[in-house]
Amino acid sequence: MAVLKEFRDFAVKGNVIDLAVGVIIGGAFGKIVDSLVNDIVMPVISTLLGGHIDFTNLFLVLGKIPEGVPRTFDALKKAGIPVFAYGNFITISINFILLAFVIFQMVKVVNKVRLMDAPPAPQTPEDIVLLREIRDSLKK
């Protein structure tokens, strides 16, 4: 029973709940960024590079292709033929860079909001101000 109570106390702590919410929102946010990369950014990049390039289908075949297997990424993977999928890596790298940039911007905004909500610094007592003035006068 002590183990169950200890586990319950651990599971309902604020930090664990916050972490769970963060993971769930992060998963949903990751899907949004995936869509941004695959549906908006990558088509623009492929068009700028001179054609409708699908980066996910850029690969090098590392094995021999048996007869009857189409030379597409999905068919080769299903056939168990090793492929060097550098196009998929490019897509995932762009995805990561965009996600990191968006999170960076979000942290900047949250930090600005926290600074605006922070209580103002307490005023310096009048006797301290007078002592500083006296010190500055003596230095002159």
CATH number at residue 108: 1.10.1200.120
Domain that holds residue 64: 2-139
> pLDDT in tens for each of the 140 residues of the chain?
788 888 877 777 767 777 888 888 888 888 887 788 778 887 887 788 777 666 777 888 888 888 888 888 888 888 888 989 898 888 888 878 887 887 788 889 888 888 887 777 788 889 888 899 999 999 98
Angle between helices 14-35 and 86-117 (to 10 degrees): 130
pLDDT score recorded for residue 14: 65
Q: Which amino acid is at 83?
A: V
What does the buried/exposed string (b/e) look like for 10-25 if buried means 16 or more CB atoms within 10 Å of the residue's CB?
A: eeeeeeeeeeeeeeee
Q: How many domains does the chain have?
A: 1
